[in-house]
């Protein structure tokens, strides 16, 4: 029986013949920030661990030379989902390895997949921390519901990936300029063509030591942007607010155009009034002097066009707790940016996201205009305050902060 089960897990064609009529997506419930399903989630208590042999261990890269997404650690987490076998299977940590997929797997034909981006930080006290992982789990489950993929307990996945980080803890850089990037991914692996919900899926987590996202440190040099109204990243009723690979592949050509102009990222616009939505893969913030002469922090609303970023959420929450300036979520247009610049009321623009934390914006190429943003000219820019506050939480200068989950 055990042999048959293993054979079914390994061969999607055989497994597919055993489908049952149970559907997980018809009665999802939200409870305590978790999305639960009738088939129940996998459990951390069932986690099995298979360590890499000594000859499989890789040398650690030089921290000073780290680039984003190039090096990977010695182990990964894998959790299969098979509806015909009752849903989620036993979680396993195993040596880092290639995936074996059927040529008809849904992920390969219909982009049935989603992912998250998180980081583990080595604090000044030596403790390893993850920043607000429960929000990543909420966002991942929301994307799973939209993609026809099975949901799971966020708490259980946090426990499993924390164990993975603890096993590969020596890969967490001993540096405040670096961190360990955590990439949970969920893909549809049904071995059949046809656009439909996935009865088979694979949830896996890989780890990657990273340095700064841009070539220059985010808190030293501002980034330059291409804002071209011909291109749209997301639209109402779409999936722009979900972290799916299908949102990012179509942006590569425009990003290449920006690079050929000597610009670093794309400022994505929407609508006839050219609303600002995202900067590359970051949320955007504007700090300016409003019509009442007050300093105000503004970011686009969560109206379905932008990703509900964890860093975005953290900046808004922190700003409102500080109470030093007005904080608003509303539409920002390029006409407003141009007018504020002409009236010397635009103080700062900056991007915010897990990979870069906070990145000041210094230049925008918009149609036939070159807009020089005075972010770096401010005597005490607010982007630096946010960068400092968030990194103090992440690297343990505020050791008991509720946003930091300690591992080990």
Q: Is the pLDDT of residue 20 over 90?
A: no
User: Mind listing the pLDDT tens digit for each residue in 28-47?
Assistant: 333 444 455 545 899 999 99
Among the residue ranges 33-42, 349-358, 374-383, the one predicted with the least confidence is: 33-42
Mean pLDDT of the residues in the chain: 89
Q: What is the pLDDT of residue 387?
A: 97
User: Mind listing the pLDDT tens digit for each residue in 42-66?
Assistant: 999 999 999 999 999 999 988 888 8
Q: Is the dihedral of CA 91, 92, 98, 100 positive or negative?
A: negative
Q: Is the pLDDT of residue 304 over 60?
A: yes
Q: Is the pLDDT of residue 220 over 80?
A: no
Q: What is the pLDDT of residue 307?
A: 96
Q: Is the pLDDT of residue 1 over 90?
A: no
Q: What is the pLDDT of residue 221?
A: 80
User: Mind listing the pLDDT tens digit for each residue in 85-143?
Assistant: 999 999 999 999 999 999 999 999 999 999 999 999 999 999 999 999 999 999 999 99
Residues β-bridged to residue 332: none
CB 329 within 8 A of CB 277: no
Q: Is the pLDDT of residue 16 over 80?
A: no
Q: Is the pLDDT of residue 9 over 70?
A: no
Among the residue ranges 26-35, 38-47, 70-79, 372-381, the one predicted with the least confidence is: 26-35
Q: In which residue ranges of the chain is CATH 3.30.470.10 found?
A: 2-210
User: Mind listing the pLDDT tens digit for each residue in 274-303?
Assistant: 999 999 999 999 999 999 999 999 999 999
Residue whose pair of structure tokens reads 């002097």 in the numeric block? 289
User: Mind listing the pLDDT tens digit for each residue in 234-271?
Assistant: 999 999 999 999 999 999 999 999 999 999 999 999 99
Q: In which residue ranges of the chain is CATH 3.20.10.10 found?
A: 223-399
26-31 CB contacts, 8 Å cutoff, 24+ apart: 28/145, 28/151
Q: What is the pLDDT of residue 193?
A: 92
Q: What is the pLDDT of residue 21?
A: 26
User: Mind listing the pLDDT tens digit for each residue in 163-219?
Assistant: 999 999 999 999 998 999 999 999 999 999 999 999 999 999 999 999 876 654 444
19 versus 263: the higher-pLDDT residue is: 263
Short-list 71, 64, 90, 85, CA closest to 12: 85
Computed over its alpha carbons, how large is the radius of gyration of the chain? Answer: 22
Q: Is the pLDDT of residue 14 over 90?
A: no
Q: What is the pLDDT of residue 250?
A: 92
Contacts of 75 (CB under 8 A, 6+ apart): 51, 52, 93, 94, 95, 96, 164, 167, 168, 207
Q: What is the pLDDT of residue 253?
A: 95
Task: Assess if CATH 1.20.120.80 describes domain 223-399.
Answer: no
Domain 2-210 fold is D-amino Acid Aminotransferase; Chain A, domain 1 (3.30.470)
Residue whose pair of structure tokens reads 């794309």 in the numeric block? 266
Short-list 290, 198, 185, 196, CA closest to 244: 185
């Amino acid at each position: 029986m055990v042999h048959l089960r293993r054979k079914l897990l390994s061969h999607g064609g055989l497994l597919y013949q055993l489908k049952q009529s149970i559907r997980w997506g018809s009665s999802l419930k939200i409870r305590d920030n978790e999305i639960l399903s009738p088939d129940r989630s996998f459990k951390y208590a069932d986690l099995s661990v298979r360590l890499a042999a000594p000859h499989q261990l890789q040398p650690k890269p030089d921290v000073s030379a780290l680039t984003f997404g190039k090096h990977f650690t010695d182990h990964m987490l894998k959790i299969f989902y098979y509806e015909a076998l009752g849903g989620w299977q036993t979680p396993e940590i195993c040596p880092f390895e290639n995936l074996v997929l059927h040529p008809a797997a849904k992920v390969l034909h219909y982009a049935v997949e989603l992912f998250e981006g998180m980081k583990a930080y080595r604090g000044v006290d030596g403790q390893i921390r993850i920043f607000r992982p429960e929000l990543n789990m909420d966002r991942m489950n929301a994307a799973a519901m939209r993609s026809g993929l099975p949901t799971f307990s966020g708490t259980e996945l946090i426990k499993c990936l924390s164990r993975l980080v603890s096993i590969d803890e020596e890969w967490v850089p001993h540096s405040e300029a670096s961190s360990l990037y955590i990439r949970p991914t969920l893909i549809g692996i049904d071995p059949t063509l046809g656009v439909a919900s996935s009865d088979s899926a694979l949830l896996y987590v890989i780890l990657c030591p990273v340095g700064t996202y841009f070539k220059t440190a985010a808190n030293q040099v501002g980034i330059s942007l291409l804002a071209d109204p011909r291109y749209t990243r997301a639209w109402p009723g779409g999936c722009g607010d979900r972290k799916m690979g299908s949102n990012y592949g179509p942006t590569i050509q425009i990003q290449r155009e920006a690079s050929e102009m000597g610009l670093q990222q794309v400022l994505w616009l929407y609508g006839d009034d050219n609303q600002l939505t995202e900067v590359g893969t970051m949320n955007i913030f504007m700090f300016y002097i409003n019509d009442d002469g007050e300093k105000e922090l503004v970011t686009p609303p969560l109206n379905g066009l932008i990703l509900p970023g964890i860093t975005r959420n953290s900046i808004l929450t922190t700003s409102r707790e500080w109470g030093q300036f007005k904080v608003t979520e509303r539409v920002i247009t390029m006409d407003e940016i141009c007018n504020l610049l002409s009236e010397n009321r635009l103080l700062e623009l900056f991007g915010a996201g897990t990979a870069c934390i906070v990145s000041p914006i210094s230049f925008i190429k918009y149609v036939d205009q070159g807009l020089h943003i005075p972010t770096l000219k401010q005597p005490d820019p607010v982007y630096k305050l946010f960068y400092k506050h968030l990194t103090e939480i992440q690297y343990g200068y505020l050791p008991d902060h509720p946003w930091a989950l300690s591992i080990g």
